[in-house]
Amino acid sequence: MSDTKNLLVELFVEELPPKALKKLGEVFANDLAARLRRLDFLEHDSIVTPFASPRRLAAHISLVRERCPDVRVRKKLIPVDIAFDGQGQPSTALQKRLDKEEATLKDVTRAFEDGKELVFLERIAPGKELSSILEATILATLSNLPIPKVMGYQLADGWSTVNFVRPAHGLVALHGAEVVPIELLGLKAGRSTRGHRFEAAVDPIELRDADSYAGQLEREGSVIASFEQRRAETARQLQAAAAQAGGAPIADDALLEEVTALVERPKVLLGRFEEAFLQVPQECLILTMKANQKYFPLLDGDGKLTNKFLIVSNIRPADASAVVGGNERVVRPRLADAKFFYDQDRKKSLADRIPGLAKVVYHNKLGSQGERAQRVAAIARFIGNELGGEELARLADQAALLAKADLLTDMVGEFPELQGVMGRYYALHDGLPVEIADAIEDHYKPRFAGDSLPRNDVGVAVALADKLETLIGLFGIGQIPTGDKDPFALRRHALGVIRMLVEKDLPLDLASLLSNALGSWRDAARSQKVDALAGVEERLPVFIWERLAGSLREQGYSAQEVDAVVGLRPGRLGEIPKRLAAVRAFAELPEAESLAAANKRVGNLLKKVDGVAGNVAAKIAPTLLKEPAEQALAKALVVVKADADAAFDRGDYTASLQALAALKGPVDAFFDQVMVNVDDVALRANRLGLLAQLHAAMNRVADLSRLAS
């Protein structure tokens, strides 16, 4: 076994795509280490450290062997009767095989396999040298990088062309202090690298060994090579500069990672702009500064935007005024554009923009945004009426018609991310009620997992209508998600509907909601010459229930718990959390397992009669209760059912299920002592009727048979 040393591999390249840098660095290091481990060059406790800066990808891997261990090789050659002649001498065929394998007779053994005696080649293959495999291993890693777009570029010879994410200009490969002699991307490995473009104290940097890499780069090259360390230092400086300026930087992990990928050693500076720009909605200014300039706007203690922002600079001049001044000059026209858009947009009301939606295509099979707005409004009127009567229906109708109007504004045209947000500002400027203004912004919610829900009933009605209109229309033209493909985010729309129904505990029955929404959609679409929708009634409810079940499992509920509750298809989804809690509490009772098994047995018996357990008439004639065990069960069922039903009716599902525990003894005795399928037709029907009563009583909260193991 050879000695181990630490390995350092670095590719020095032109500026890498910032949004991909972190992932590129992680995959480069981890994939290279994984390949070396598969080749048995790493010790068990080897540690991988990735490095990634704007102009480099590197990996430091500890405890790398200079030569991998020898391995015993066993290879099947030919049958013994072909390998040796009658005198036991090696045949020509065997000798040819040995010559091909560069082996001798002493490497040969005999063994039986599948009833035949065969000749095998057995020998020790010496381990490979690191220098012999490193080049191919790195090339395999490079081919596996998640490169957004590959570039082809010419090498220095003027003839050869290679492909990589960016042109590479330097290669380092150090095993301990020794250079590993490899060549790739037209580069020969050495120990030289480059530091900061403008602030490196030494250029080039001659690395002493693999372990000195990060320290030398920081001291001599003014580069923090580790992405995570550079990110942490950037965050620290942002907080410190913000505190000194009396504010807080806006929280944005994606922006923090992007600026980390743009600088080699961060220096955070404070800039300012004219307070007059604060008259523009802060969302516009924040987005302008973040998206276009990569600045961190500063907020005051109330979360309001100030006229200060933080710049993450890649240089650290002694006098930073020129850098700050340059950034302030650059941001000013951006903010002025935002102010111009805002001022221009307010010259025309949202209501006046509605006719223009007829010219905006929504989908070539579903018409324009104007036609879509009419369909959303029709559904919103129905939902509003269900939730709050005529006045809520009127407000929901008005908000739905205005909800997409801001798509035609200059501000949303420049920043599509602000749709809804700007609609709210313009609605307030138009003098519309705050409920309508809030609904215009909120009808997109929830936009992602964990997003807030609409803040008022008008917003809820329009948000539900908007998502249902999308689901109905796209399902109706066959645009149903398959596998991992969901181009119209229909899963997100379905989960949005579910979240509102559950978390708002809306008094809406899902089946009725979908049926009425579909009717409203079709009524509105008739005049729009949209083709009739086919199959939506069957496919869409299944899709929503499947999304609900998946969401509940992701929240930590077991498959059995989810199946028990969701299998009953309760009308109000807001009841589902309470039902799940009740099922979980019931499952902890000592009687639960026995009752669940009995419930499953009852269901199977009833299905044999009619095919559907719930179709057997739950009627009994007391005079036909012959056996003491069936009499006892009928008597216990009267008492227990009354308690369970009373708890169910007041919404105490836990108490309703726990009341069933008293049935364990009578149920067990019934199945031990009573024959259900007797020849007497009347007696059999009576006993099945008793079981049907039991089945109905036990399955109001959940299908308890799903809990049976």
CATH number for the domain spanning 538: value is 1.10.3210
Answer yes or no: is 365 within a domain.
yes
542 and 643 in a single domain? The answer is no
- Which of the listed residues 179, 206, 221 is the one where a domain comes to its end? 221
Average pLDDT, the chain: 92
Answer yes or no: is 451 within a domain.
yes
133 and 186 in a single domain? The answer is yes
Q: What distances in angstroms separate CA 348 from CA 107, 399, 429, one per listed residue? A: 92, 17, 10
Output the pLDDT for position 489: 93
pLDDT digits (tens, 9 = 90+) for 105-152: 888 888 888 888 888 888 888 889 999 999 999 999 999 999 988 889
Answer yes or no: is 316 within a domain.
yes
Which stretches of 389-509 are DSSP H helices?
A: 390-402, 410-414, 421-429, 434-442, 457-476, 490-503
Mean pLDDT on 674-679:
88
Domain span at residue 524 reads: 351-556
Flag whether pLDDT at 509 surpasses 60: yes
The candidate with the shortest Cα–Cα distance to 295, out of 312, 281, 317, 320, is 312
Beta strands 187-188 and 183-184 are antiparallel
User: Could you tell me what percent of the chain has a pLDDT over 70?
Assistant: 98
391 and 361 in a single domain? The answer is yes
Flag whether pLDDT at 458 surpasses 90: yes
At residue 528 the predicted structure's pLDDT band, cuts being 50, 70 and 90, is low
Answer yes or no: is 476 within a domain.
yes
CB-count burial class (<10 Å; 0-12, 13-18, 19+) for 241: buried
For residues 133 and 73, what is the distance between their CA atoms, to the nearest angstrom? 19
47 and 162 in a single domain? The answer is yes
27 and 170 in a single domain? The answer is yes
Q: Which residue has the tokens 């949005």?
A: 496
Q: What size, in residues, is the chain?
A: 709
- Which of the listed residues 507, 533, 556 is the one where a domain comes to its end? 556
At residue 85 the predicted structure's pLDDT band, cuts being 50, 70 and 90, is confident
Cα dihedral 555, 561, 567, 571 sign: negative
170 and 59 in a single domain? The answer is yes
pLDDT digits (tens, 9 = 90+) for 225-242: 999 999 999 999 999 999
390 and 273 in a single domain? The answer is no
Answer yes or no: is 139 within a domain.
yes
Flag whether pLDDT at 191 surpasses 70: yes
370 and 475 in a single domain? The answer is yes
pLDDT digits (tens, 9 = 90+) for 611-625: 556 567 778 889 899
393 and 448 in a single domain? The answer is yes
Q: What distances in angstroms separate CA 152 from CA 166, 438, 441, 605, one per listed residue? A: 8, 51, 45, 71
* 354, 504 contact by CB (below 8 A): no
Pull the structure tokens for residue 81. Answer: 């009767």
Answer yes or no: is 531 within a domain.
yes
Mean pLDDT on 316-332:
94
Number of domains the chain contains = 5
Name the DSSP letter for residue 292: I
Number of H helices, E strands in the chain: 27, 20
103 and 191 in a single domain? The answer is no
* 2, 129 contact by CB (below 8 A): no
594 and 647 in a single domain? The answer is yes
Which CATH number does the domain housing residue 657 bear? Answer: 1.10.730.10
Residues 6+ positions from 175 with CB-CB distance below 8 Å: 5, 6, 7, 64, 66, 130, 210
Flag whether pLDDT at 384 surpasses 60: yes
Output the pLDDT for position 1: 44
- Which of the listed residues 125, 146, 168 is the one where a domain comes to its end? 125
136 and 162 in a single domain? The answer is yes
pLDDT digits (tens, 9 = 90+) for 634-667: 999 999 999 999 999 999 999 999 999 999 999 9
Answer yes or no: is 580 within a domain.
no
Output the pLDDT for position 431: 97
Residues 6+ positions from 620 with CB-CB distance below 8 Å: 634, 686, 689, 690, 693
Answer yes or no: is 566 within a domain.
no
